[in-house]
């Protein structure tokens, strides 16, 4: 079983990344093969809206680092995204990846690459875990359209300080569950 983690936070000592590492370590301890990708370190351009993918079996024409991410997604059994909230929504790095997954829309993704689970770990500054939930859930509808099965949607709050999660037993325990449920 292969589990892919995609961290979209750009910063050092990122709470998203720490949470994702914990979830992946848990999955690994349960026997999974795991890989963590930092999307901010990759050259991922925005979707060009050319619809090339619609005439080419879900393949995207943009020749950049997203091509290696597509391959990793296709080979994974489960994917965990770790995403910071920027201005009431997912950050721009996540939106780049999300829009590029449009290439799989109206393509038999599940039939071709198998049924996959997906989980979302969100980190935000605001203490209210429900503050942006409606917007985030709308963003993640895309994965339902593609045929993914939602495993977890966890919101980690009050994390403005880099590495703040390290002192939060409750949040670390939550992401351990994410690592178990993705299997």
Residues engaged in binding ligand FMN (CB under 6 A)? 9, 11, 14-16, 84-88, 123-126, 159-160, 162
Q: 38 or 70: whose CB is closer to ligand FMN?
A: 38
Rounded to 10 degrees, what is the CA torsion of 49, 54, 55, 59? 80
Closer residue to ligand FMN in complex, CB, 21/152: 21
What is the closest distance, in whole angstroms, from the C-beta atom of residue 170 to ligand FMN in the complex? 15
- CB 154 → ligand FMN: shortest distance, Å? 13
For residue 139, with 0-12 CB atoms within 10 Å meaning exposed, 13-18 middle and 19 or more buried, which class applies? middle
Complex with ligand FMN: residue 71 or 133, whichever CB lies closer:
133
Residue placing its CB nearer to ligand FMN in the complex, 60 or 178: 178
Helices (H), 30-159: 52-55, 66-75, 92-100, 109-113, 133-146
Smallest distance, ligand FMN to C-beta of residue 49, A: 25
Nearest-approach distance from CB 103 to ligand FMN, in angstroms? 27
DSSP for 143-168? Answer: HHHHTPEEEEEEEE-S--STTGGGG-
Give the shortest CB-10-to-ligand FMN separation in angstroms. Answer: 7
- Closer residue to ligand FMN, CB minimum distance, 79 or 146: 79
User: How much helix, strand and coil, in percent to the nearest 5, is found in the chain?
Assistant: 45, 20, 35
Euclidean distance between CA atoms 25 and 80, whole angstroms: 12
């Amino acid at each position: 079983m292969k589990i892919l983690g995609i961290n979209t936070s750009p910063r050092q000592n990122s709470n998203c990344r720490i949470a994702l590492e914990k979830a992946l370590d848990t999955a690994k301890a349960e026997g999974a093969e795991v890989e963590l990708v930092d999307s901010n370190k990759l050259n991922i351009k925005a979707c060009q809206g050319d619809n090339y993918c619609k005439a080419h079996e879900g393949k995207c024409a943009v020749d950049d680092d997203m091509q290696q991410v597509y391959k990793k997604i296709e080979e994974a059994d489960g994917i965990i995204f770790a995403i910071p909230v920027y201005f009431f929504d997912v950050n721009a790095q996540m939106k780049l990846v999300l829009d590029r997954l449009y290439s799989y829309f109206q393509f038999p993704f599940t039939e071709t690459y198998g049924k996959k689970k997906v989980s979302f770990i969100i980190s935000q500054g605001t203490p209210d875990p429900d503050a942006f939930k409606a917007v985030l859930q709308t963003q993640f509808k895309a994965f339902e359209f593609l045929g993914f099965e939602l495993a977890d949607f966890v919101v980690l709050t009050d994390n403005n300080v880099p590495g703040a999660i390290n002192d939060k037993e409750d949040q670390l325990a939550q992401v351990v569950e994410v690592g178990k449920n993705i299997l």
